[in-house]
Amino acid sequence: MVSSDAPARSSWSGKWGFILAAAASAVGLGNVWRFPYLAAKYGGGAFLLVYVILVVTFGFTLMMAETALGRKTGQSAIGAFSSFGKKYAFIGVLASLVPFIITPYYCIIGGWVTKYMVAYIAEPAADLGVSTYFTSFIVNNNETYLWLVVFLMLTFFVVALGVQRGIERVNKVLMVALIVMSVGLSIYSATLPGGLDGLAYYLIPDFSKMSVELVVAAMGQMFFSLSLAMGIMITYGSYFQKDHDLEASVRHIEIFDTGIAILAGFMIIPAAFSVTGSADAVAAKAGPGLMFGVLPQVFQNLGIAGNIIGFIFFALVFFAALTSSISLFETCVSIVCDKFDITRKMAIIIAAAVIFVVGIFVNMGYNNLLWMDPMYSLFGFGTYQGSQLLDFFDFISNTVLMPIVALLTCLFVGYIIKPKILIEEVKQSSPFHAEKLFVVMVKYIAPVFMVVILVSYILNAAGIINL
């Protein structure tokens, strides 16, 4: 049976300890790199609106469900589900696959960020702004392997050292610096010629841009950014003390994470407008290269100031990415540890080896395996023509696995253990203000919505409908 008191488990220093730890791992490449390019690609304001609605409804419900499940059972994902019956363990297993898919490609992008950070010391900003710089760096260039390995080694090293407290302290300072820098750069960005048009594009929703694809993309991004549907919030919840307000903490994490994502959009989208000239041009360029290709064009004309701003910008992205990759890798390690019942040291070695091999493989998608075009050749997704293995991994984790895990989690909470058990868990420490929202979402709206999304994507892949 499930005991409601977690035995001798480490816990956060308090409500803010939890919020900080969760925010540090939540705020990463997803916020500063992925969110702005998705917003640019999917019609600016329309995407922003859908995203925020999803965060305060779905995101909230799932995060409450996961953290309450963790606090109730005092276990991480697999144990939390199986403590209600062995046959439910598979939900935890599916969730645990996700960090193994994300970490390798996360570190590839981390490598790109590291490269740019160093390049702003070593090369004139004018050279980095040349439009072909980014593609010639990532495509058919063995240098990317070097940066991937550097970033992987840093991640492994810190986790092996176990200096999380140190990292968290550094992180606190860097988070503040990140916010200050982002505000500064956002203001600068808006003052560039064409910047205000960019702001309008970003803030005023154009409802003709609404599509199933937009909603699916916003949903995948939300899971990724809030680190949901991969078991990590269950583990974090299991460290959460019984007398701290769970609902308020979840709200704080959402506001923090979404706030930084929106801020990154303010910084990047108007700047992209000033370089490319129109919404269509931005949307056409919106992709992984928005941050690496377009921003350097903004820094290009600033001379030495461009080098300084470029360096500070990429250094902050680097730290945001590193703290997230550390907790992603830590998640992989703890899964291996729990699953195979081996020492932490062995688990680190095994997890590092797996991530390393997969990382090199995914990186080959830009080199020897460039011909693969997996999204197009496997699924026939016309809109994905020219995709690489990295896009494929991103798709499998964010668009396929995470919605499935989220769906199963909602069904599990809504119909198997029943919402009441988690509501009581939340109420142990404080009133549950959004109780009704939670119940309606978890039982009816979220599952239906997730099924619709999954089915429409499969039909699209099969060519039966056209998104």
Task: Enter the tokens of residue 393.
Answer: 């991994």
Single-letter code of the amino acid located at 317: V
Task: Enter the tokens of residue 177.
Answer: 């610096």
Q: Which residue's CB is nearer to ligand TRP, number 253 or number 389? A: 253
CA quadruple 250, 252, 257, 262: dihedral positive or negative?
positive
- Determine the distance from the C-alpha atom of residue 157 to the mean position of all C-alpha atoms in its chain, rounded to a whole number: 22
For position 26 contacting ligand TRP by CB under 6 A, the verdict is: yes
**Shortest Å, Cβ 353 to ligand TRP:** 20
Position among 57, 82, 225, 363 found at the interface with ligand TRP (CB under 6 A): 225
Asked if residues 12 and 242 have their Cβ atoms less than 8 Å apart, the reply is no
Q: Which residue's CB is nearer to ligand TRP, number 50 or number 279? A: 50
Asked if residues 49 and 205 have their Cβ atoms less than 8 Å apart, the reply is yes
Single-letter code of the amino acid located at 234: I
**Shortest Å, Cβ 427 to ligand TRP:** 28
**Stretch in the footprint of ligand TRP (CB under 6 A) among 164-172, 320-328, 344-352, 380-388:** 320-328
For position 397 contacting ligand TRP by CB under 6 A, the verdict is: no
For position 76 contacting ligand TRP by CB under 6 A, the verdict is: no
**Shortest Å, Cβ 25 to ligand TRP:** 4
- What DSSP string describes 222-256? HHHHTT-SSSHHHHHHHTS-TTS-HHHHHHHHHHH
Beta strands in 344-427 (DSSP E): none
**Stretch in the footprint of ligand TRP (CB under 6 A) among 169-177, 226-234, 272-280, 443-451:** 226-234
Position among 61, 82, 227, 276 found at the interface with ligand TRP (CB under 6 A): 227
Task: Enter the tokens of residue 365.
Answer: 């998608």
Helix (H, G, I), strand (E, B) or coil at 205: strand
**Stretch in the footprint of ligand TRP (CB under 6 A) among 21-29, 300-308, 370-378, 451-459:** 21-29
**Shortest Å, Cβ 229 to ligand TRP:** 9
**Stretch in the footprint of ligand TRP (CB under 6 A) among 52-60, 200-208, 221-229, 342-350:** 221-229
Position among 155, 324, 334, 388 found at the interface with ligand TRP (CB under 6 A): 324
Q: Which residue's CB is nearer to ligand TRP, number 64 or number 190? A: 64
Asked if residues 25 and 227 have their Cβ atoms less than 8 Å apart, the reply is yes
- What DSSP string describes 36-89? HHHHHHTTBHHHHHHHHHHIIIIIHHHHHHHHHHHHHHTS-HHHHHHTT-GGGH
CB atoms within 10 A of CB 8: 6
**Shortest Å, Cβ 231 to ligand TRP:** 9
DSSP state of 418: -
- Within 89-108, the residues that bind ligand TRP by CB under 6 A are 99, 102
For position 25 contacting ligand TRP by CB under 6 A, the verdict is: yes
Single-letter code of the amino acid located at 407: L
**Stretch in the footprint of ligand TRP (CB under 6 A) among 28-36, 167-175, 283-291, 302-310:** 28-36
DSSP state of 232: H
For position 328 contacting ligand TRP by CB under 6 A, the verdict is: yes
Single-letter code of the amino acid located at 7: P
The Cα–Cα gap between 41 and 53 comes to 18
Q: How many residues bind ligand TRP (CB under 6 A)?
A: 17
Sites of contact with ligand TRP (CB under 6 A): 25-26, 28-31, 99, 102, 224-225, 227, 230, 232, 324, 327-328, 331
